[in-house]
Amino acid sequence: MAKFFTKEHEWVEMAGGQATVGISEHAAHELGDITYVELPKIGRSVKQFDTLAGIESVKAASDIYAPISGKVVEVNQALDEAPELVNQGAEAQGWICKLEGVDEGELASLMDAETYGTYLRGL
Amino acid sequence: MEDLKSTPLRAAHEGLKALMAPFGGWLMPIQYAGIIAEHRWCRERAALFDICHMGEFLYKGDIVEDGLEGVFTFSVKTIAVGRSRYGFLLNEDGGVIDDLIVFRLAEDEAMIVVNAATTGNDFSVIRSRLKNPAVLTDISSRTGKVDLQGPLSREIMVRHFGPQIVDIPFFKFIRTRILDEDAIVSRTGYTGELGYEIFLPADKVARLWEILLQEPDVAPAGLGARDLLRLEMGYSLYGSDLDEGITPLTAGLSSFVNMDKEFIGKGALQRELAQGSPLAKVAFRVDSRRAPRHHYEILHEGEKVGSVTSGAFSPMLSCGIGLGLVKPSVAALGTRLVIRHERVEMEAEVVELPFYTGGSLRA
């Protein structure tokens, strides 16, 4: 299934009832070298657009917001040792966590890739 | 951002697709390939920095008679010709107006190198303190400066500018000819690596930049990498770790203050020595990869004891590092601190400087 994006530059992709979440390639590029990812606790429930995780680069510290409500069931542990994976593939191996129990209806409030692309050009 | 100044290398930076941002009133390159890659390049090879934004003043007069000797926290008359010295320009309260380096060019000639953002104010303050203000000229706009820093910098400099480079010791400089112009090559820097600062007429800097970048072991580095490099050494940054409200004693820089000579601000420093400093500088290492940042709170056993003045993730140490000002009672080595900002919290420990000890600085 396709990715959906928030205005704060997170993405979410549904597969088998699970939502994989990360930050967009655009966001990773803007942050520069990523040096730390604060992964969420497994089992934590979040509401859409609540603070989900944190990310730090050589330039700044930022919050990552949940693009969709759900419960954290898995985190990308590789980022503990190698946060640069987010720079190498923010929308692939640099994913942040997986959520379950999501309401797919919330995807309607997000942008598809094409709309997000248009949104970025307008920034 | 109005009236930002550009260095003679602006077109070169744009050609290299640098990320440019305002710094101290100048539009400066923050990064080219990436801050961590540039930082590593400087630690392992040789990085080239555009430092044309810094200010330079030329003093041509008797060091004592015309008044320069009493201006800074260090003696100028005891700097041997061909050597340079680091120290401070203070206000009456002992606060740091700027940190700077004086190069003793000749018996009656010195060059003062100051920070970019403070150049204009420094010039008026220094002039106002001279018995004969006419001996001081602001040569910032006609003076270009690039720094070549890194363990390979010596062999590259020798290849281009001659064997006399080999013998320049730390904090000494030579006057030489580069691109048919009078130049100064100084064994100083802000990175903790073996390196050189090159002063050349501003209109020749672009050519020098181009020549040095043709070297396969030379890569450009921006102010982002420069900040990481200096922080790993614990060097203070004016505007973050130093300002007019902080004395050099509080900032832990008393070795650059000569209390045996006269200078403006000395009275305040004597009182601080007698009464004790209200705050103390600490260097601390974070237990994780989290980076402390300017203005984050410092706590000890739940109580706020100070704030962070500089902080970053250290690529060499793979953890957060920082400098801060705290109550003197929690400044001892080994003291456990908590660094906090909103929901971000990290544990840290007071450590010795420099954070990074593997540099080629004295090689």
Q: Give CA–CA dist B358/B127, Å, rounded.
A: 41
Instruction: List helix spans (H) across B133-265.
Output: 153-161, 205-213, 223-233
State residue B192 phi and psi, 5-degree precision: 85, 5
Q: Nearest 5°: CA angle at B322, between B198 and B313?
A: 80
Structure tokens at B100: 């700077």
Question: Is the Cβ pair A59, B288 closer than 8 Å?
Answer: no
Task: Report the amino acid identity of residue B49.
Answer: F
* A7-21: pLDDT as tens digits: 999 999 999 999 999
Instruction: For chain B, list the domains and their CATH numbers.
Output: 5-52+141-233 (3.30.1360.120), 56-138 (3.30.70.1400), 279-363 (2.40.30.110)
Chain A residue whose CA is closest to B225: A58
Distance, first Cα to last Cα, chain B: 42
User: What's the CATH number for A3-103?
Assistant: 2.40.50.100
Domain ranges for chain A = 3-103
How many other CB atoms are there within 10 angstroms of residue B322's CB atom? 27
Q: Give CA–CA dist B140/B52, Å, rounded.
A: 8
State residue B100 phi and psi, 5-degree precision: -160, 170
Residue among A36, A51, A54 whose CB faces B313 most closely: A36
Query: Mean per-residue pLDDT for B121-126?
Result: 98
Instruction: Residue B344: list chain A partners with CB under 8 A.
Output: 54, 61
- Measure in Å the smallest separation between the Cα of A63 and chain B Cα atoms: 10
Query: Mean per-residue pLDDT for B245-267?
Result: 97
Position B258 pLDDT exceeds 70: yes
**ipTM exceeding 0.85?**
yes
State residue B120 phi and psi, 5-degree precision: -60, -45
Question: Is the Cβ pair A59, B228 closer than 8 Å?
Answer: no
Structure tokens at B73: 């926290």
Higher confidence at residue B362 or residue A27?
A: A27
Structure tokens at B350: 């007071």
Query: Mean per-residue pLDDT for B103-109?
Result: 98
Check residue B3 and give its pLDDT: 86
Could you give the 3-state DSSP secondary structure of residue A35? Answer: strand
CB B176 within 8 A of CB B200: no
Which of A58, A59, A86 should one mutate to test binding to chain B, selecting the residue with the greatest count of B CBs within 10 A?
A58
Instruction: Residue B292: list chain A partners with CB under 8 A.
Output: none
Task: Report the amino acid identity of residue A57.
Answer: S
Could you give the 3-state DSSP secondary structure of residue B170? Answer: coil
Q: Give CA–CA dist B40/B135, Å, rounded.
A: 42
CB B187 within 8 A of CB B80: no
* A63-111: pLDDT as tens digits: 999 999 999 999 999 999 999 999 999 999 999 999 999 999 999 999 9
- Measure in Å the smallest separation between the Cα of B313 and chain A Cα atoms: 7
Question: Is the Cβ pair B291, A59 closer than 8 Å?
Answer: no
* B342-362: pLDDT as tens digits: 989 999 999 999 999 999 998
Residue among A36, A54, A58 whose CB faces B36 most closely: A58
Chain A residue whose CA is closest to B31: A32
Q: Give CA–CA dist B33/B87, Å, rounded.
A: 34
CB B31 within 8 A of CB B42: no
Instruction: Residue B289: list chain A partners with CB under 8 A.
Output: 35-36, 56, 83
What mean pLDDT, rounded, does chain B reach? 97
Question: Is the Cβ pair A61, B228 closer than 8 Å?
Answer: no
Beta-sheet pairing, B218-220 with B46-50:
parallel
Check residue B2 and give its pLDDT: 60
Share of chain A above pLDDT 70, in %: 99
Check residue B158 and give its pLDDT: 97
Could you give the 3-state DSSP secondary structure of residue B325? Answer: strand
Q: Give CA–CA dist A8/A48, Å, rounded.
A: 12
Chain B residue whose CA is closest to A84: B36
* B205-245: pLDDT as tens digits: 999 999 999 999 999 999 999 999 999 999 999 999 999 99
CB B150 within 8 A of CB B138: no
Could you give the 3-state DSSP secondary structure of residue A76? Answer: coil
CA dist list (Å): B253 to B113, B242, B248, B345, B351: 18, 10, 5, 29, 16
* C-alpha of B136 from chain center: 22
- Sequence-distant (≥ 6) Cβ neighbours of residue B119 within 8 angstroms: B54, B55, B138, B140
Nearest by Cα to B314 from B283, B356, B351: B356
Instruction: Residue A64: list chain B partners with CB under 8 A.
Output: none
Check residue B363 and give its pLDDT: 85
- Measure in Å the smallest separation between the Cα of A39 and chain B Cα atoms: 12
Query: Mean per-residue pLDDT for B36-64?
Result: 98
Instruction: Residue A56: list chain B partners with CB under 8 A.
Output: 289-291, 313
- Measure in Å the smallest separation between the Cα of A22 and chain B Cα atoms: 19
Question: Is the Cβ pair A58, B344 closer than 8 Å?
Answer: no
Q: Give CA–CA dist A10/A96, Å, rounded.
A: 10
- Measure in Å the smallest separation between the Cα of A117 and chain B Cα atoms: 22
Question: Is the Cβ pair A35, B291 closer than 8 Å?
Answer: yes
Query: Mean per-residue pLDDT for B71-84?
Result: 98
Q: Give CA–CA dist B4/B162, Å, rounded.
A: 37
Query: Mean per-residue pLDDT for B261-280?
Result: 97
Calculate the CA dihedral of residues B235, B237, B242, B243 and round it to 10 degrees: 160
**In the block, residue with structure tokens 């260090």:** B74
Strand pairing partners for B299?
Answer: B304, B338
Instruction: Residue B31: list chain A partners with CB under 8 A.
Output: 32
Interface of A with B (CB under 8 A): 32-33, 35-36, 38, 51, 54, 56, 58-59, 61, 83
- Go through chain A and tell me how many residues it has: 123
Position B47 pLDDT exceeds 80: yes
* B126-162: pLDDT as tens digits: 999 999 999 999 999 999 999 999 999 999 999 999 9
Handedness of CA A96, A100, A104, A105 (dihedral sign): negative
Check residue A123 and give its pLDDT: 86
B288 and A CB contact within 8 Å: yes
CB B33 within 8 A of CB B222: no
Handedness of CA A87, A91, A94, A95 (dihedral sign): positive
Structure tokens at B270: 């004597």
Residue among B31, B293, B344 whose CB faces A32 most closely: B31
